[in-house]
Structure 1
Amino acid sequence: MAYGLVGRQNVAVLSVLVAFLACQTARAAISLDPVPPFQWLNITSLLTGTTKPPSLYQASIGYDEASRSLIIFGGEASSGVPQSQTYLLNLDSLAWSIPTPPATLEQTPPARSAAVSGIDSAASNRNGFLVIGGKGMSGEALSDVWEFDWTNQFWHEVNISPGPSPSARWGSSGGIDIRVPPVADAVLPGPNNTFWLLGGQDSQNSFSDLWRLNISGTLSSNLPDDVEGSWEEISLKDFPGSVGQGGGVIFQQIVTSGGCNDTLIPAESCTVQNAYVITSTRDTGTVAPALDCPAPRLSPTLIPNGNAFSTSFSSQMLLLFGTFNSSLWDDGGGMKDGEVAVLDVNTQSWTRVLPSGDPGTSGTPSFPTPREGAVAVMYPQSLIGDSRKISSDIIVFGGRDASGNYLSDLWLLRAYNGLVNTTQLKWSGFGNGQLQTGANANGAGVENTFVDSCALPIAPPPTSSTTNSTSTSTSSGPGGSPTGGGGSPQNKTGSQPSLNTSLLHKLFAPLSLALLLPAFLLFRLTSLSFNSSHHAALPRIWYYVSGFLGVAGYGLGIAGIATSFTTISTPDGARPSPLGTAHGRAGLALFICLYGLLILLAILHISTKRTKHELVAGVEESRKRADSDVTEKDQLPRSAQTPSPALSVRRRTHSWGPSSWRKVREDSLSIDSGSGEMGDTTPPTQRTFEVLNRPARTRRGSGSRLGVPLTNITHPNGSHSLGDLDWLNRRRSLTAVGELDYPLDHSTPTATLAPPPSTPGTLLDPPVPVEAPSNMPPTTSIILRLLFHASLAAFCVFCLVTLWSKKAPKSTFGVFLAWTVAFYVILIGSSWRGRPDRSTLSLLFGRLRTQPAVRPTAPRPSVSDTLPDTDDNLSFPYTHHRPAYRRALLSDAVGPQSTDTEEEDDDRAEDEMRRRDISIVTSYPKRALRITNPS
């Protein structure tokens, strides 16, 4: 019952594992979640006004719905100097302007860039725009907090309550999601809005701490000093921190992506492909690493998806822009086509989308150039245009491109109220298919493209010290493309380029192993090849389930190796050889061993074993026929039976004379048992007298718990003791006294015989059965099983190393590791319990944990108790009483163990008989064998 439950649990867990592993492996590559139809619109040419902002990098941006104003503050100009100017853009008129504060409130915040900002809207109490910290004019880190009043267009510094506060810094992630309403505060007056500050750096340090700023009070021209703020530090662990990363807030979660970990000077060459989702409670924050999919970027832009058409959009964070090192990473050309990478913070998976572009006046769609340090603001409705209910808009401003040029263009990422996915690329508002441009674009002709693979790393170029040696080993392959020694294409620096690996190839290998492990467990528990009982503990149906799983796993393994040759390619579309990498060579070697060589060896072993069984069956059939002839002969009357063949006779010799049993047997005369005349020398086919109740003796060697049968021990002087006699044929004449037949059977027993039943009146006790260890499988079976387990373990290690080194999701690695450990725990545990009983591991464990049963023998009866009460019996020192005649069977025991005293007695008796002339007389019909000294 326990094993049946284990088998059912294995199948249930397997089904869950396969589904989860398939999901996780697919997510490790990319997710294809539905998204709204995206379109880029360039609105720079639509803007008017004489006070336009210059090209700025890492400025602050915000939007006020009441005044319909977009604000741009600070930022680093093309001169490399932070600015302190404020710019306002009215989204109804699309005209730029600068604020006009009251005469007494004309102060402005110090110049800065890379500050954290956000909207602070609390009904009539406050309607402002908040700026926190940043990098000052001289490169110093700032920690002050300022707020801009939208109504009266003035700035004022926020009063920070005494207590712990973050150190001065710039480049932090954080802000606020405008969809989170303010809450009442029992300590600070008025509704409270919460702003987040995560990480950042100064000129000496980088930070990985998390802070929460609570803003309360009233902001107006008559109460400019009434706004108060207080800092709270949130306990945060396992966040590595970074510089040059992108960050944003979605509801109460902070999301970061990209940047560098081990430097204070961020650059494209040190960016990492990491993303984190930090969820904060009242006092504690938890960090969840997201899957790695987009190319690692420097200073990207992260903004929530504010489109409310689908509830699934509310958990999506949009990753825009940033710059990356194209010599180290291949993004498939997504960045130049305006890629929007969508991160679902609930599932922590990425979806890569290429939006439609702006056709402009030329009709050719255009996209914003890749840039770092751009700033963006989101609103759930359209920000510009006559109809504000057709979409949600994101406005992106400024930044710096990969060439170092500072930018001032303004782009609109419009998310229309619809839904597209991989099976429905066109949405309901596709219209006539003609893309529109300008503020009133309604989504006609918008069609998004989904990228079905993640960005791939390109091997770093060789160092200058190895460039010369590398170039000497590089030759031109077919078509003039440079190839390395392994035959795989290489880039112009001589290093191996990135490979585009298909999702199927990533999926088939782990799924194949996930199916093979439970298939092997079920096969061991149900197969008759491993179980001596024809009724296995598990239902027979699991045997067929194991076969189905094994075939499925085998097929997936073949498909996995096939896809490595057909789907892997370089970014330029070439088909490299999978053997060009260590991963490919190791995978091919494991495939050949586990899926090819072992299968052939198993088939060969089974065929050989079947042939051997057929031969054994033929021998057994011949033996049965012979036994049948003997039985028929025994059933005939004695007068009708054929006279017994000639038996060997040995002349009586003195014990001190030369004597050799083997020589006597060779020189013995053959006589007819009925007439006493010389006859032919044909060996007897039937022995009418058998000694069945002489127990075999065992001698215990030092350090061994199992006795050694005495019948296998040769006397030191070369002669054979009486214990070596397996058969005693009847003498040729029942009336001849002093003559004895001594034919010997020197064959070694090939099977362990079971003890015969106890017979009343015998001199010796019946043998006591001793538990013996099971027979080990043939050597070929053991070698084949060892090869299989070695290959299977190597395959498990190979998959685990691949999942870890290829940066698969930690959850996928953890599940696969747990499944592998569970397999070996069940394998070893069932073998320890002796299931299946024929497996090599079960037999080894059985010998380790099973003690041989050594049972004491009963006291030996005296000779007087066993002999008939006659005078003849009194002179016989040794008497063997024979039970009723029957043929010996393989189940007859050879003998039990005997004590040391018995062994010494028997040895002395045999030594005494060797030194004297003896006669062996068979009394018939009393059926007793008497061995006596005639003198």
Structure 2
Amino acid sequence: MPVGVCRPVRTADARPSSNLLMALLGRRVAVAILIAVSAFSLHVLAAASLDPVPPLQWLKLTTAGTTQPPGLRFASVGYNAGTRTLIIFGGEAQSGVAQSQTYLLDLDSLTWSIPAPPVTLQQTPPARSAAVSGIDTAASNRNGFIVIGGKGSDGKALSDIWEFDFTNQFWAQVNISPGGPSPRWGSRGGIDTRIAAVSDPVLPGPNNTFWLLGGQDTSRSFSDLWRLNVSGTLSSNLPDSSVGSWEQISLSDFPGSVGQGGGVMSQQLITSGGCNDTLTPGTSCAVQNTYIVTSNRETARAAPALNCPVPRLSPTLVPNGNKFSSSFSSQIFSLFGSFNSSLWDDAGGSKEGEVAILDVNTRSWTRVLPSGDPGSSGSPSFPTPRDGAVAVMSPQGLVGDSPKTSSDIIVFGGRDASGNYLADLWLLRAYNGLVNSTHPKWSGFGNGQPQTGPNANGAGVENKFVTTCAVAIAPPPPPPSNSSSNQGGSQSGDDGSSQPNNPSPRPSLDTTFLHKLLAPLSVGLLLPAFLLFRLTSIPFNGSRGSPLTHALYHVSCFLGVVGYGLGVAGLVLAFTTLSSSDSTAKPSLLSTTHGQAGLALFILLYGLLFLLAILHLLTRCMKRELVTERKRTDSDVTEKEPLPRSTLTPSPAFSFRRQASSWGPSSWRKVREDSLSVDSGSGEMPDFANPPSAQRTFEVLNRPARTRRGSGSHSSMPLTHLSHQSGSQSLGDLDWLNRRRSLTAVDELDNAAPPPSTPGTLLEAPGPSAPNMPPPLSILLRFLFHASLAAFCIFCLVTLWTKSPSSRSGFGIFLAWTVAFYVTLFISSWRGHPDRSTLTLLFQRLRAEPQPRPAAPRPSISDTLPGTEENVTFPYTHHRPAYRRALLSEAPSPQSAESDEEDDDRAENEMRRRDVSFFTTHPKRALRITNPS
């Protein structure tokens, strides 16, 4: 808020404004309470969301065959319902090298095999891992499996696209039109097989859409979004007829990250976990961040979800394909993923096969512990915690004799916490039912005896709900630097390179979306509020201003109150919704430069300056009240005790100054006692009962006795007419000298007279006076306010630029808003609105014309007047600040025979107006007037 402005006290007409102010304050309190309640509700929802889910059970699949896949990580997996075949391609082996082998699993017999392509179609894709893949089924045109990009065996990124034909079991490269994403691996995407193929106006035949989001190469990470449209024909006689074209989708608010998991639900992509600030992700840098990317034909936008699961590295995300409840269509399962158990506590969920379920509509998480596989021993078992596993979903059962009673998800491979690459196959079965935290048992619970194998029907399945989110804990001391074991030394990173198992953690903090929105919104409201307050409040008081001015003033107050409340709410949310993937016992906002700078600016702008402004305004209002009361008192005294023998009414804007009544010796004291004398600083009337002590002032020392004669230039009168009891010709005996000028009458007499000038000189036009600046305290407070406001704007701009590198729309909007504010501020100040603004006064001083150079000093009277020792300048020297210069008509005239008398008269007339001491020169003689005291 600007400082240095206060309102005079208003009477009855101030009540509407007061009521409005109270209403605004009440509204601010209501808004603050609403925001606090909403933030608390969102926090509680993130901590304990218990949405209904289908009954879940883990089942281990035992497979057979002479050719089985080895332990693989980041392989490509797909399922074809027509041939009942599961395909595994590529992946990273235990050696850290990408593979190129293809494995097929017959889901009826659970037997592994390798493809047997036609002799003329023996080509295979280059080895790769971490590729994007998915099923491409389009009627009789194509019955294939797509693999996009990935990381080659040489560690370089790939961009080619291959498709496997399930009917004839051969690979063919897809013909891609020019353009497309740069080579990369680790992208999230694929296709939702529940979406049917559509016709495309560009490509012939049915079209399927694949998505590709983000990824990385050897030097950078990506945050862009691409759509691949695949069409054409794939068959043994037309192996090269499948075609594809890339189309980039504009994406905002998605940060580039690596090592995250991802899945596709219709036209939405969901990512979770991973690291944001490194190309070699590890468990210590994993974050809880989850983003929901919603796309239409040309644009997409990423929205964060609430954080609840433990921060994971390379989790597996797959949609819930169960159709028993319509609420299941908006759910996606997050499985596995490695995390740093020394930094986070997941309440043992990973050891019990935890499934974190995200509802993309409510953006809330539900943590569920499924039933395990009882096996032959009856003791439930669960999959080993791992990262880099792959999964495929089917709306119906993939194995067993009752495919319509459940939906299945098959999970393969991954790497466990010990660095071992896994080749086991697990089935996550979702039965057609519904359970929640209050009803964990469902209609198919049966006799309570869980079953095992592909034909398990859900009997005895009872899920447990974890009602709390993951909790950060203090990390243990770092291991010795000479540790070289497999578990304590290093392990292969996502890019195949060796990385420390316990790298130095980097702080990775995040807050809720409300905090990121409220902080810039608060500053954005304060900017126009300040402009309106500045333009309407300074010239506004209770009796002036148009209705529009009053309305804009109240609008500025409302915007300021709302902006201040949003700023406070944003700070509260920064502390209450702060989450961290790498912290000590609790995440600390002050552990980052962003948090420290933001808190310091908040304390300065929203705290200290706000309090100082209020105190300053109250102080100025109290001073103005005192001045108003003093004026009222002076007015009352003036009305009750009129001034005697005075024909001049002092201006109420000035106070009286104690004046002498004569230039003569001490014999004038009686006249002086009867004259009006008021202390110049008190603003009070004289005390006639206790007159002040006599002081001798000026007297003429060398004037001879003479008879007064008329002057041609001035009207004279006999001295006897001017004297009191004595016949002295002293100027101190003049009764009319009571009207000699005081501080109160200066302006009245000067305004009535023409501009004076010094004898012998021309009249000079007064130069432009410098504008009066506000008090130093007001200037200081205004400077601090503008400095802190500019710093806060810069802080918001830097945050918007660095925290959302993939989207600059918010940065651009806030930058344009800030520039418009300062342009308006400077233009209004340059044009003089408001006139009391410090910036306006500075501009006025810059635009003021230079003052004329002072004239050279006149020679001293001691140089021309013999016997004079005083160092005074011609024609006289003031003992008090001058009020005006002598008129040209008052200059000495040597042409008149009566010049001596005229000099005396001129001196007397001058002494009636002010207390001065001067010399007059004449060829015959000089008149000398001095102060005896």
Q: Would the TM-score normalized by the shorter structure come out above 0.5?
A: yes
Q: Secondary structure at the match of 1:781?
A: helix
Residues 131 and 756 (structure 1 numbering): CA distance in 2 closer, same or farther, change over 3 Å? closer
Deviation at residue 734 of structure 1 after TM alignment: 4.5
User: What is the rounded CA distance, in whole Å, between the counterparts of 1:172 and 1:495 in structure 2?
Assistant: 24
Deviation at residue 119 of structure 1 after TM alignment: 1.9
Name the residue aligned to 1:684: 676
1:234-253 map, 5 Å? 234=247, 251=266
Q: Secondary structure at the match of 2:638?
A: helix
Q: Secondary structure at the match of 1:440?
A: coil
Whether 1:534 and 2:544 are equivalent positions in the alignment is: yes
What number of residue pairs does the alignment pair up? 755
Equivalent residue for 1:779, pick from 776, 779, 793: 776
Q: Secondary structure at the match of 2:369?
A: coil
Residues 773 and 442 (structure 1 numbering): CA distance in 2 closer, same or farther, change over 3 Å? farther
Q: Secondary structure at the match of 1:783?
A: helix
In structure 1, list runs of 5 or more residues that go unmatched.
1-6, 466-491, 637-645, 651-663, 672-677, 687-727, 760-766, 855-893, 924-932
Equivalent residue for 1:670, pick from 661, 664, 668: 668
User: What is the rounded CA distance, in whole Å, between the counterparts of 2:132 and 2:774 in structure 1?
Assistant: 73
CA contact (8 A) 1:211 1:231 kept: no
Name the residue aligned to 1:124: 140
User: What is the rounded CA distance, in whole Å, between the counterparts of 1:610 and 1:149 in structure 2?
Assistant: 86
Q: Secondary structure at the match of 1:681?
A: helix
User: What is the rounded CA distance, in whole Å, between the counterparts of 2:571 and 2:216 in structure 1?
Assistant: 47
User: What is the rounded CA distance, in whole Å, between the counterparts of 2:198 and 2:82 in structure 1?
Assistant: 20
Structure of greater relative contact order (alpha carbons < 8 Å, 6+ residues apart): 2
Name the residue aligned to 2:113: 98
User: What is the rounded CA distance, in whole Å, between the counterparts of 1:632 and 1:905 in structure 2?
Assistant: 32
Deviation at residue 404 of structure 1 after TM alignment: 1.6
Name the residue aligned to 1:216: 232
User: What is the rounded CA distance, in whole Å, between the counterparts of 1:419 and 1:379 in structure 2?
Assistant: 18
The one-character-per-residue Cα deviations of 1:614-637 (angstroms, maximum 9, x if unpaired) are 54345424432343245597899x
The one-character-per-residue Cα deviations of 1:462-519 (angstroms, maximum 9, x if unpaired) are 9989xxxxxxxxxxxxxxxxxxxxxxxxxx9998977797889878766765665555
Residues 806 and 679 (structure 1 numbering): CA distance in 2 closer, same or farther, change over 3 Å? same
Q: Secondary structure at the match of 1:612?
A: helix
Equivalent residue for 2:458, pick from 441, 446, 456: 441
Deviation at residue 228 of structure 1 after TM alignment: 1.5
1:15-94 map, 5 Å? 37=53, 41-45=57-61, 53-78=69-94, 82=99, 84-90=101-107, 93=108
Residues 216 and 919 (structure 1 numbering): CA distance in 2 closer, same or farther, change over 3 Å? closer
Residues 513 and 607 (structure 1 numbering): CA distance in 2 closer, same or farther, change over 3 Å? same
User: What is the rounded CA distance, in whole Å, between the counterparts of 1:582 and 1:289 in structure 2?
Assistant: 26
Deviation at residue 61 of structure 1 after TM alignment: 1.8
Name the residue aligned to 1:840: 838
Equivalent residue for 1:400, pick from 415, 428, 433: 415
More displaced stretch, 23-32 vs 386-395: 23-32
Question: Which residue identity lines up with residue 139 of structure 2 in the other structure?
Answer: A
Whether 1:354 and 2:367 are equivalent positions in the alignment is: yes
Deviation at residue 277 of structure 1 after TM alignment: 8.6
Q: Secondary structure at the match of 1:57?
A: coil
Name the residue aligned to 2:636: 625
CA contact (8 A) 1:30 1:454 kept: no
Deviation at residue 399 of structure 1 after TM alignment: 1.5
1:751-770 map, 5 Å? none
Name the residue aligned to 1:178: 193
User: What is the rounded CA distance, in whole Å, between the counterparts of 1:145 and 1:620 in structure 2?
Assistant: 90
CA contact (8 A) 1:37 1:427 kept: no
Question: Which residue identity lines up with residue 639 of structure 2 in the other structure?
Answer: S
TM-score, with length taken from structure 2:
0.59
Deviation at residue 60 of structure 1 after TM alignment: 2.7
- Identity, in percent, stands at 47
1:170-569 map, 5 Å? 175-183=190-198, 191-193=206-208, 212=228, 214-217=230-233, 219=235, 223-226=236-239, 228-232=241-245, 234=247, 251=266, 291=304, 299-304=314-319, 306=321, 320-323=335-338, 338=354, 340=356, 342=358, 351-361=364-374, 368-383=383-398, 393-413=408-428, 439-441=456-458, 446=463, 520-521=530-531, 523-527=533-537, 534-535=544-545, 538=548, 540=550
User: What is the rounded CA distance, in whole Å, between the counterparts of 1:810 and 1:23 in structure 2?
Assistant: 31
The one-character-per-residue Cα deviations of 1:196-231 (angstroms, maximum 9, x if unpaired) are 677878999999996847442253xxx444551335
Name the residue aligned to 1:917: 903
More displaced stretch, 819-828 vs 234-243: 234-243
CA contact (8 A) 2:646 2:738 kept: no
Question: Which residue identity lines up with residue 84 of structure 1 in the other structure?
Answer: Q
Deviation at residue 841 of structure 1 after TM alignment: 3.6
CA contact (8 A) 2:321 2:329 kept: yes
Question: Which residue identity lines up with residue 88 of structure 1 in the other structure?
Answer: L
Residues 65 and 28 (structure 1 numbering): CA distance in 2 closer, same or farther, change over 3 Å? same
User: What is the rounded CA distance, in whole Å, between the counterparts of 1:140 and 1:184 in structure 2?
Assistant: 35
Residues 291 and 271 (structure 1 numbering): CA distance in 2 closer, same or farther, change over 3 Å? same
Residues 146 and 906 (structure 1 numbering): CA distance in 2 closer, same or farther, change over 3 Å? same
The one-character-per-residue Cα deviations of 1:286-311 (angstroms, maximum 9, x if unpaired) are 78666596888654445455567888
CA contact (8 A) 1:375 1:397 kept: yes
Residues 748 and 807 (structure 1 numbering): CA distance in 2 closer, same or farther, change over 3 Å? farther
User: What is the rounded CA distance, in whole Å, between the counterparts of 1:143 and 1:922 in structure 2?
Assistant: 107
Question: Which residue identity lines up with residue 840 of structure 1 in the other structure?
Answer: T
1:641-660 map, 5 Å? none
User: What is the rounded CA distance, in whole Å, between the counterparts of 2:890 and 2:535 in structure 1?
Assistant: 48
Whether 1:616 and 2:631 are equivalent positions in the alignment is: no
Q: Secondary structure at the match of 1:56?
A: coil
Residues 821 and 394 (structure 1 numbering): CA distance in 2 closer, same or farther, change over 3 Å? farther
Q: Secondary structure at the match of 2:784?
A: helix
In structure 2, list runs of 5 or more residues that go unmatched.
1-19, 483-501, 648-657, 679-714, 755-763, 853-882, 910-921, 926-933
The one-character-per-residue Cα deviations of 1:127-181 (angstroms, maximum 9, x if unpaired) are 3334466667888988886655545x63354575898899998666554432443
Question: Which residue identity lines up with residue 668 of structure 2 in the other structure?
Answer: S
Residues 441 and 587 (structure 1 numbering): CA distance in 2 closer, same or farther, change over 3 Å? same
Name the residue aligned to 1:476: none
Q: Secondary structure at the match of 1:407?
A: coil
Deviation at residue 405 of structure 1 after TM alignment: 1.3
Question: Which residue identity lines up with residue 155 of structure 1 in the other structure?
Answer: F
1:136-155 map, 5 Å? 147-151=163-167, 154-155=169-170
Deviation at residue 374 of structure 1 after TM alignment: 1.7
Residues 230 and 494 (structure 1 numbering): CA distance in 2 closer, same or farther, change over 3 Å? closer
Q: Secondary structure at the match of 1:609?
A: helix
CA contact (8 A) 2:373 2:382 kept: no
Question: Which residue identity lines up with residue 105 of structure 2 in the other structure?
Answer: L
